[in-house]
Structure 1
Amino acid sequence: MKLFRSVPLLGWIVVAILLGILLGPVMPDWLGGVFLTYNSIFSGFLGFAVPLIIFGLVTPAIAELGKGAGKWLGITAVIAYGSTIMAGLLAYVVSRWLFTASMSAGGVESLDEGSGSGFAPYFSVVSAPGDSATEIVLAPVIDVMSALVLAFVIGIGLTAFRSRVIFRGAVEFRTIIESLIRRIVVPALPLFIFGIFMDLSASGAAIEVVTKFLLVVIVSFALTFVVLLLQYAAAGAMAGANPLRALWNMRDAYFTALGTSSSAATIPVTLASTKKNGVSDAVAGFVVPLGATIHLSGSMVKITCFSIAVLLLTGGDVSFGAYFPFILMLGVMMVAAPGVPGGAIAAAAGLLVQMLGFGDMEVGLMFAAYIALDSFGTATNVTGDGAIAMIVNRLSRGRLGPQAQEEADEVVETLDPDPDQRHSLA
């Protein structure tokens, strides 16, 4: 356990991918079946847990944001959500433009676990009964969209009726869900990803998939800078400041987040950097901690780029009409994402399955690709908070009353009661 904790999750993911590619072609069928059985168990459990994850995270997030329904809290939340959605739209357009020709019919559209590799699980965990005698049925308590709608209904209801008992129950249930992700889902990911790449390698598709995903990594990384330039261009235009100089003033926050992969740990540096752009102490103290919780444009870019790539590789529907609702719902999920490495993609897994039709292999590829750029997403998120602070500073003329500060403090405290545990808000 000490060794596992001493190596970051990204390190284990890289090791799992490399070992899967190397060992897949020489893996005995009986041992390959063991790993695919593990993958089936993990996938079945994840399918059972995803609706609970969505309900447990979204319900208190909506209730907590609604508790302080003050003017500036609402304005800041709308700006943050709009910024996240615009980042997703930009990533969608660029991904369609750059990836369509090279990734359409990418060769994995017909591959399920065990297809074409000679491996087969000894038994499977499925969500609905089938014809096989080796299937174990683990049906979700509620489907993904029902869980999301129920979370909205109860969350909005709590803002109206302010039931302390139900609200406290929702917050405590979220603690259980975050522990589930932190202690079970995330530690189980490396072996799950190993099984996926072992299967891909044995069937001859691993190298092609990895090679094409390298292009997605490069594009995603470049897009995070484009998003920051656009955010600061808008902020500079409103505040009458040089956008490039304002962005350069945030460099300490960017590199601190890059090294720590923690929005919470970067807050003091983000505050100091934001004030260099002429943002008042009151506005910086209001926007930066709140933005660290609800503004995740970098995470949106990563998930959008990689999900479009996976859809193209597997022959999925990437039309705007089919994909835009996913962006809108993903923006909500990013607000509720738990602060552990891979937490955002774990929270988004239900939407990937329900709205984009992803299967076990596609979800595994998303986990691996997302975690590879985890720290860059965090750095983009916190640096973008500085642009939002400039906009709010201009709109409020640098003055926010104590009530607004108290509302923000209350939201941040309830959304992030223990910053030390929120390792990566990306």
Structure 2
Amino acid sequence: MKSNTVEQSEKKKFRLGLVSKLLIGILLGILIGSFLPEGLIRVVITFSTLFSSFLKFVIPLMILAFVTMGIADLSQGAGKLLGITASISYASTLLSGSIAFFVAINLFPKFISADVINSIGDPEAGMLAPYFSVPIAPIMEVTAAVVLAFLLGLCISSMRGKEIGDTTYNFMNEFSKIINRVLNTAIIPLLPFYIMGTFANMTVSGQTFTILSVLWKVFLVVISLHLLYLLFLFVVSGTTCKKNVIQMLKNQVPGYLAAIGTQSSAASIPVNLTCAENNGVSKEIRNFVIPLCANIHMAGSMITITCCVTSVLLMSNMPINLGIIVPFIMTLGIAMVASPGAPGGSIMSALPFLPMVGIGSDSALASLLIALYITQDSFGTACNVSGDNAIAVIIDTIYNKYIKKSEPAKNAEAVK
């Protein structure tokens, strides 16, 4: 009996993570595109095309569910602190994306040369067509989903318990759980097969190895930017709040490692709360800021997406400048609010907005972005989570200096 139990526990322990499955999918896609006959390759491509249609149908529902609940739940905090924390988090997300773009636009052309661009040409030229496709029209446009999510979220947050009850809130809460179930049981598990089909088609067209020779360099730049941006955040936080920056960074190591292991900001919250406590953040502030920023502070994700988009546009010889990338970053900073804790949640939120920079949300380039993003998602999550603690120190200082001191005075005036 004991030996059977041990064998069962060992089987349970051995599970391939999403990144491993994705890398296997890429490898299998290359092998399929290189060695299998065209007829079998088109079978794989047909599945990939069907999945793409399903994904396009689900994305507006995902945005409606998660953004609505994200806004509705954020309003349950203290008014001033909520506004300050949300503003700093959004500013940090925009700043990280802007820095990533300036680094990428100046550095990437050094290894994405004209020769590379000419050898790639049109990444979708020469690709095989699926045997058939099933167009599934989304219930609503992505822009309409974003607008409706904001309307519902703001109205629920301001009217709940005053003019309306909990019915709408509970409905949207359960709806978000349904969409999260779809994401975790259908979308995420099938992503490796989707990527496999894309790489099989890219291999047939002769573009795979040329593109991969560029993307591994992009990967190194992205990880370096994550670490440098974290250093910047902690230096700003430590110097302005008069705390030891080196000690703050040491205290954050467990939270960083937990985020790499879980690939989830939400799952890292317990460890991150301990990191905040070690940094001297008061209990009421850390219990408010850390869970809040886990949903709204996406600096690491923004760095990754901006760098990946810039590299893809450069490889495709498509126009890219501040006028194109800034609106994309500003929109994405909002759309990623309360993106699901499942790996790849941020890139799923970004897919509908890729046409803003000229990339089709269901194109081969989009699936390439998904692949590159998820392979480093652990590091992006670690950057998000660690940056939350730098913000928590700033909010704690603001609270103790300006808000907490003013409360007794207001109470005294009220008594008079």
TM-score of the superposed pair, with normalisation by structure 2: 0.87
Paired-residue identity, %? 39
Aligned match for 1:111, one of 118, 123, 134: 123
Between the aligned partners of 2:381 and 2:136, the Cα distance in structure 1 is: 35
161-170 vs 304-313, which moves further: 161-170
* Residues 1:295 and 1:238: Cα distance change in structure 2 (over 3 Å): same
**Gaps in structure 2 of 5+ consecutive residues:** 1-10, 408-416
Give the counterpart letter for 2:16 in structure 1.
V
Aligned match for 2:46, one of 14, 20, 37: 37
Shift of 1:280: 2.4
Q: Which residue of 2 aligns with 1:367?
A: 370
* Residues 1:209 and 1:251: Cα distance change in structure 2 (over 3 Å): same
327-336 vs 188-197, which moves further: 327-336
**Structure 2 SS opposite 1:249:** helix
Structure showing greater Rg: 2
Q: Which residue of 2 aligns with 1:297?
A: 299
How many residues align structurally?
387
Between the aligned partners of 2:202 and 2:118, the Cα distance in structure 1 is: 13
Shift of 1:5: 8.8
Q: Which residue of 2 aligns with 1:323?
A: 325
Q: Which residue of 2 aligns with 1:63?
A: 72
1:149 aligns to 2:147 (yes or no): yes
Between the aligned partners of 2:123 and 2:97, the Cα distance in structure 1 is: 28
Aligned match for 1:387, one of 364, 387, 390: 390
Between the aligned partners of 2:154 and 2:53, the Cα distance in structure 1 is: 31
1:117-144 CA-to-partner distances (Å, cap 9, x unmatched) read: 4x3311133xxxxxxxxxxx32222111
Between the aligned partners of 1:106 and 1:171, the Cα distance in structure 2 is: 49
Q: Superposed, which structure 2 residues align to 1:82-231 within 5 Å?
A: 82-103=91-112, 105=117, 107-108=119-120, 110-112=122-124, 115-117=125-127, 119-125=128-134, 137-162=135-160, 163=164, 164-231=166-233
Shift of 1:354: 5.2
Shift of 1:329: 1.4
1:81 aligns to 2:90 (yes or no): yes
Shift of 1:64: 2.0
Between the aligned partners of 2:220 and 2:189, the Cα distance in structure 1 is: 27
Between the aligned partners of 1:5 and 1:294, the Cα distance in structure 2 is: 33
* Residues 1:355 and 1:167: Cα distance change in structure 2 (over 3 Å): farther
Give the counterpart letter for 2:126 in structure 1.
G
Q: Which residue of 2 aligns with 1:20?
A: 29
1:293-344 CA-to-partner distances (Å, cap 9, x unmatched) read: 2222111111111111112222333211111111111111222201111122
* Residues 1:241 and 1:153: Cα distance change in structure 2 (over 3 Å): same
Between the aligned partners of 1:213 and 1:4, the Cα distance in structure 2 is: 32
**Structure 1 SS opposite 2:267:** helix
1:77-119 CA-to-partner distances (Å, cap 9, x unmatched) read: 211111111111111111111113433636545233xx424x3
**Structure 1 SS opposite 2:337:** helix
Between the aligned partners of 2:334 and 2:267, the Cα distance in structure 1 is: 23
Give the counterpart letter for 1:248 in structure 2.
K
**Gaps in structure 1 of 5+ consecutive residues:** 126-136, 405-426
Shift of 1:265: 3.3
Between the aligned partners of 1:150 and 1:369, the Cα distance in structure 2 is: 31
Give the counterpart letter for 1:111 in structure 2.
P
* Residues 1:64 and 1:286: Cα distance change in structure 2 (over 3 Å): closer
Give the counterpart letter for 1:110 in structure 2.
D
Q: Which residue of 2 aligns with 1:409?
A: none
Query: In 2, are the aligned partners of 1:238 and 1:394 still within 8 Å (CA)?
Result: no
TM-score of the superposed pair, with normalisation by structure 1: 0.85
